[in-house]
Structure 1
Amino acid sequence: MSEQPIKVLLAKKKIDVHGRGSKLIARELRDAGMEVTYFRFGTAEDIVNAAIQEDVDVVALSIMTSGHILLAQDLIPMLKEKGKPDVLLIMGGVIPHGDFEELKSLGVHEVFPPGLPGETVADYIRENVGKLSLN
């Protein structure tokens, strides 16, 4: 019997229309053996509902515009309230390095700057899925 693949929801917030980086990381995570659901645009509530519907292990947010802190502030309590406190929550993209610690203090498990190999993200996910919960 083989293990089930790690399930990842790769999401972007509603006004974030970029695509190249998120499509690249989706492909790299799939190449690493993960099952990736690509959720193009949504509000925090839409993202949480998709995470529940897809029964994911990881919510990965790709951010190329501002609003990452507000998104985390909205998303994390909803994930907890709706029964997903054990999901691994990561963010990546164009996020100012100075915001990394605030995001982590809110409950984001890791923040990845642009340009990292997808393998780095996949390794982090494999090492931490099922081991961390939201604050």
Structure 2
Amino acid sequence: MKTGLKYCEERVLSPISWYCHRAPDGAFLDSTSPEELDPPMPSKVPGKGFPVWTLEHQGRELYFSSHFEIKQVVDLLGQKILPHNKTLTEGSGYSNQHWLSRLHKSWMPWKTRQRMVAKLEKLLPDS
């Protein structure tokens, strides 16, 4: 399991972005400036691009657009018993669309999640 940081010329929205960052009422997440979102996404780093953090495990990769997304994944996957998808989507009827329901089964064992959380916590500021 390894982590990385790369930069992309265009803003990248991860599957977690849709559940972490909220756009102002009536706006679309992908058409809103990063600063307008709640919580805000990182701005473009001059000369590099937008930061994208990655976590690789058994040939599969998770990617994150912000530290807020990493924190949300750490908080959720750090629980020994995971919440039901319907709880995570607040009964919206889209529980099959939540990023956790789409996570490959190789990421789900408790020991794997513990290792994952430990790696991701190192990516968080002040860690």
**TM-score of the superposition, structure 2-length normalised?**
0.26
**Higher Cα Rg, which structure:** 2
Query: Of Structure 1 and Structure 2, which has the larger fraction of its residues in helix?
Result: 1
